[in-house]
Chain A
Amino acid sequence: MLLREVSYARPGSVEEAVALLSAHDGARALAGGQTLVNVMKQRAASPDVLVDLADLDELRTIAVSGTTLELGAMATLTSIIRSSEVEVSRPILGEIAATVADVQVRNRGTIGGNICVNDPTNHFPPLLVALGATMTIRGAGGERTVPAEEFFVGVFETAVGEGDLLTRIDVPAGRGDGMAGVTLGVHGTYVANAAASVADGAWRIALGCVAAVPVRATAVEERLAGGEPDEASVRAAVEGLGATLDPPSDVHASADYRRSLAETSVVRAVLQAAERARG
């Protein structure tokens, strides 16, 4: 419960936030804090400086620009659930947000925080990889964009480096999405999951909980490409996926069980996505 000593600042602008993050060694952005504060309570990590993004309303915006849904990094999961923009342009984001933990966590927790933490059991890293999202990062040297598959680097590590700030997540509009998995209890921590997305016959599939970062199932994507999947063809395409994975073995699942769950999750996510793509 008891944190190590830490310094705190609450900047009034993105520029000031980036300047603070750059100016202080060991500085870390504080978004919703629903993971970071808890990690600090365990003293598993102890940033020297917290730069609280709470006042940066510009990072809370949810907007549609053309065929792109723009999610501010500080958009809370609750605001994503309630957003008509999300519902219209990429409804799966709201659906999955509604299954993250509980009301309190969703009220504070942000999409930016969820992915910057990159806990391997988090919902949004594999989903955003499957959706082909792009992350915009502001640093001292300016702004850059990173595709989702390059964004995730390791547990608690992303392309957001020291002095950087994730500002926005762009998701192309679409409906052909599915996500399936097994959790510890309803709305609990994921044991294994898969997210799948199809657009114009091209598939993007990402697995969660099998490595430090989401894993693309490219071979399955290729086998499914262009076809009109039914249960048998999806099962055939997924066959053998588990053997290519090297998932962790822990108290909730052996590596073998995770391999099996990964395959089942992909089958279910793909079938869900295909059905929704058909509308």
Chain B
Amino acid sequence: MAEPTTSQFVTVTVNGEQVEREVPARRLLVHFIRDDLDLTGTHVGCDTGSCGACSVLLDGVLVKSCAVLAVQADGASVTTVESLAGDELSALQRSFAEHHALQCGYCTPGMLMSATALLAENPSPSEDEVKAGLQGNICRCTGYWNIVEAVVAAGKGPA
């Protein structure tokens, strides 16, 4: 029987690279990503799992990394905002810039991850589908209108 322990050795594939670390069982995945792995694009905006600024893909599934323990990611893959751009910005990232879908940019990484997950399942979502897909991400600057437009436009592809 697996004995419960307060600290565990985890192996996680982060943005395609395997990392191995000893982590306390109580450490949240978001702190593991930000503080232990120095991937600071993933943000924290609340303490109740409400705001979605910490959204990442865990084995391809959109999750809030503040509501997952780092030890729960053992053996899994994690995809963060830092992986979205290659040599150039992705179409979605460009669309955010073109539609002024960000102001302070703090919610943006989480928004981009939610939109990425949505577009992976539904490559050209309607406005209502985008709104439903981004419901778990709070933005306090934009009122969401431009964000929704940016995602709808990214789904439509180049005009």
List residues of A whose CB falls within 8 A of some B CB.
1-12, 16, 19-20, 23-24, 27, 30, 33-34, 37-38, 40-42, 49-52, 54, 101-105, 107-108, 186-187
B104 part of interface (Cβ distance < 8 Å): no
Q: List 7 A-B contacts (CB under 8 A).
A: A1-B31, A1-B66, A3-B28, A8-B5, A103-B118, A104-B67, A187-B135
Bound Cα distance from A271 to B131, whole angstroms: 29
Are the C-beta atoms of B55 and A104 separated by less than 8 Å? yes
Q: Which residue of A lies closest to B31 (CB)?
A: A1
**Residues of chain A contacted by B137 (CB below 8 angstroms):** 102
Q: Which residue of A lies closest to B49 (CB)?
A: A38
Are the C-beta atoms of B4 and A33 separated by less than 8 Å? no
Task: Please name the 9 residue pairs, one residue from A and one from B, whose CB atoms are nearest each other, closest first.
Answer: A102-B136, A7-B4, A8-B25, A3-B26, A9-B4, A102-B135, A9-B2, A104-B136, A38-B49
Known: A5-B24, A34-B49. A10 touches B44 (CB 8 A): no
Are the C-beta atoms of A42 and B47 separated by less than 8 Å? yes
Bound Cα distance from A27 to B69, whole angstroms: 16
Stretch at the interface among B57-65, B77-85, B141-149: B57-65
Q: Which residue of A lies closest to B29 (CB)?
A: A37
Which positions 125-159 of chain B face chain A at CB distance < 8 Å? Answer: 132-133, 135-137
Instruction: State how many angstroms separate the Cβ of B93 from the closest Cβ of chain A.
Output: 20
Q: Which residue of B lies closest to A48 (CB)?
A: B4
**Residues of chain A contacted by B24 (CB below 8 angstroms):** 5
Bound Cα distance from A3 to B114, whole angstroms: 26
Are the C-beta atoms of A6 and B2 separated by less than 8 Å? no
**Best-surrounded residue of A11, A16, A52 (most CB of chain B within 10 A):** A52
Are the C-beta atoms of B3 and A41 separated by less than 8 Å? no
Instruction: State how many angstroms separate the Cβ of A188 from the closest Cβ of chain B.
Output: 10
Bound Cα distance from A59 to B55, whole angstroms: 26
Which positions 29-88 of chain B face chain A at CB distance < 8 Å? Answer: 31, 44, 47-49, 52, 55, 61-64, 66-69, 71-72, 74
Known: A1-B28, A5-B24, A103-B136. A38 touches B67 (CB 8 A): yes
B90 part of interface (Cβ distance < 8 Å): no
Q: Which residue of B lies closest to A76 (CB)?
A: B61
Besides the contacts A8-B8, A50-B4, what 11 more A-B pairs have beta carbons closer than 8 Å?
A1-B66, A5-B24, A19-B1, A27-B4, A33-B72, A34-B49, A37-B49, A50-B69, A103-B117, A105-B64, A105-B136
Are the C-beta atoms of B6 and A6 separated by less than 8 Å? yes
Are the C-beta atoms of A33 and B2 separated by less than 8 Å? no
Q: Which residue of A lies closest to B121 (CB)?
A: A103
Bound Cα distance from A3 to B136, whole angstroms: 23
Are the C-beta atoms of A51 and B4 separated by less than 8 Å? yes
**Best-surrounded residue of A3, A23, A42 (most CB of chain B within 10 A):** A3
Q: Which residue of B lies closest to A8 (CB)?
A: B25
Are the C-beta atoms of A101 and B4 separated by less than 8 Å? no
Are the C-beta atoms of B4 and A24 separated by less than 8 Å? yes
Are the C-beta atoms of B67 and A5 separated by less than 8 Å? no
Are the C-beta atoms of A41 and B69 separated by less than 8 Å? no
Bound Cα distance from A57 to B28, whole angstroms: 23
Are the C-beta atoms of A7 and B69 separated by less than 8 Å? no
Bound Cα distance from A41 to B1, whole angstroms: 28
Are the C-beta atoms of B69 and A8 separated by less than 8 Å? yes
**Best-surrounded residue of A41, A102, A186 (most CB of chain B within 10 A):** A102
Q: Which of B5, B68, B74, B133 contacts A33 (CB 8 A)?
A: B68
Instruction: State how many angstroms separate the Cβ of B122 from the closest Cβ of chain A.
Output: 11
Are the C-beta atoms of B69 and A33 separated by less than 8 Å? yes
Are the C-beta atoms of A10 and B2 separated by less than 8 Å? yes
**Residues of chain A contacted by B49 (CB below 8 angstroms):** 34, 37-38, 41, 105
Q: Which residue of A lies closest to B46 (CB)?
A: A1
Bound Cα distance from A4 to B25, whole angstroms: 10
Q: Which of A1, A7, A11, A19 contacts B25 (CB 8 A)?
A: A7
**Residues of chain A contacted by B6 (CB below 8 angstroms):** 5-8
Bound Cα distance from A159 to B52, whole angstroms: 33
Instruction: State how many angstroms separate the Cβ of B61 from the closest Cβ of chain A.
Output: 5
Known: A5-B26, A37-B49, A37-B67. A104 touches B62 (CB 8 A): yes
